[in-house]
Copies of this chain bind each other. A is one copy, B any other.
Amino acid sequence: MKYCFGADVGGTTIKLGLFTVDGEILDKWEIITRTENDGESILQDIATALKEKIQEKAISAEEVIGIGMGIPAPVNSEGIVKKTANLGWGYKEVKKELENLTGWQVVVGNDANVAALGEMWKGAGHGEKNMVMVTLGTGVGGGVIMGGRPLIGANGAGGEIGHICVNYFEERCCGCGKKGCLEQYASATGIARIAREHLAADKKDSILRTYDLDKIDAKIVFDALKEGDQLAVDVVEEFGEYLAKGLADVAVVVDPSLFVIGGGVSKAGEILLTYIEKYYRKRAFFANKDTQFAIASLGNDAGICGAAKLILDSQM
């Protein structure tokens, strides 16, 4: 039997998975991300963890075909990152370094692209070859899969759909420095801000008024929505319209058959899709009207699955 590893590197933990080349997941576990000293021990920690795992499982090094890895930064097609916000790395030849440390072939991708590949392979995108995964968390991330492969782009920054402009009259700055980015409205942070604005501007009774303003988060909004709270409905309508504006623009550029919605906000479930699809159908270009929507189904495993798929595909 032959095996491969998938690694999903985050700012706090590194998720690791052992797979057969047939795609069966045999084991998964986590290690701490040690970001101190410019993250210099991260790759060594991964190498050590994987070598310990094959010992534990009595797998020989020759039975491992390689490692796929997702990184929270733009990664070019040579597996080089220029800068990371959360790992401490500056310019780093990630692929080459981890290959030298392990002796195995390594393929590296951006974490959002890799998660999208995971959802395509084993999750909500199963069977699709042209899909976009939208991650609604603290920010808004995206991964574009075209013809079954992640769209990387010239700088490894393909699929940064959180920074599409959906409001040309916004005066507040996004974290990126631009104004009116999708991320300012459709992230968990954005939803909480929209809720605070509605609470200030609108006199309606609402469950949301029972919380301190600075405690209100996306989960509270969606819980209130499910209770039929009208102010929460207004907030989610606004969120849905902004997200649909952005996704209609994404669709004319890459023409996906499916949008998979993931990230913390997607825990609200299928009800989320109602509010996105309604505005999407209204705003989409005719060729993209039938694009489907689904909630991501792999949760935290999307990254390790996509990473494993990355190394498997590289050897086909």
Contact = CB atoms under 8 A, between A and B. Distances in A.
A165 interface: yes
A164 interface: yes
Nearest to A290: B155
A245 B166 CA distance: 10
A153 B248 contact: no
A202 to B, nearest CB: 22
A168 B288 CA distance: 19
Interface string A253-270: 111110000000000000
Nearest to A128: B154
Contacts of A184: none
A2 interface: no
Contacts of A154: 128-130, 255-257, 291
A97 interface: no
A167 to B, nearest CB: 8
Contacts of A245: 165, 168
B158 A254 contact: yes
Given A153-B255, A178-B283, A256-B153, A77 B158 contact: no
Given A165-B245, A168-B168, A151 B254 contact: yes
Contact of A285 (B163, B166, B248): B163
A155 B252 CA distance: 11
B147 A152 contact: yes
Interface in A144-203: 144, 146-147, 149, 151-161, 163-168, 176-178
Interface string A62-74: 0000000000001
B253 A156 contact: no
A237 interface: no
A153 B249 contact: no
Interface string A111-130: 00000000000000000111
Nearest to A130: B154
Contacts of A166: 168
A178 B168 CA distance: 18
12 contacts: A130-B154, A144-B254, A146-B152, A152-B255, A154-B257, A155-B257, A158-B253, A160-B253, A161-B253, A168-B168, A176-B285, A178-B285
Given A154-B291, A161-B252, A253-B254, 12 more contacts: A74-B287, A153-B255, A154-B255, A155-B257, A158-B253, A158-B254, A165-B248, A167-B168, A168-B245, A176-B286, A178-B283, A249-B249
